[in-house]
Structure 1
């Protein structure tokens, strides 16, 4: 598997051959990962929440399960 974009803000996860996008990533303005998304539909797979100092405090799955 291979990432596109810089290491800090990869925008896609591709197959080893680089021809198939497996997942997409979304970031907020400070550059924190906010979502992993389905490659075909951009539907969120996981959504991440952060507190005021930038610590990741929650994870919500596509099934609606919230941790944190």
Structure 2
């Protein structure tokens, strides 16, 4: 998968806050994701993240969203 910083991911399982949407903050062997519901950040292995993606929304300008 060609996921970049700033892209939005909708994962299969919801975060405990109820949100399914995450922003990509870092890519590599691990992804750093920020929950769009509560702002919680986590690191997740790339393989696990790629398996749990339901929907992928590319960032149109290609730059991180703040």
Query: Shorter-chain-normalised TM-score: which range?
Result: under 0.3
Higher relative contact order (CA 8 A, sep 6+): 2
Structure number with higher strand proportion: 1
Structure number with higher helix proportion: 2
Using the size of structure 1 for normalisation, the TM-score is 0.26
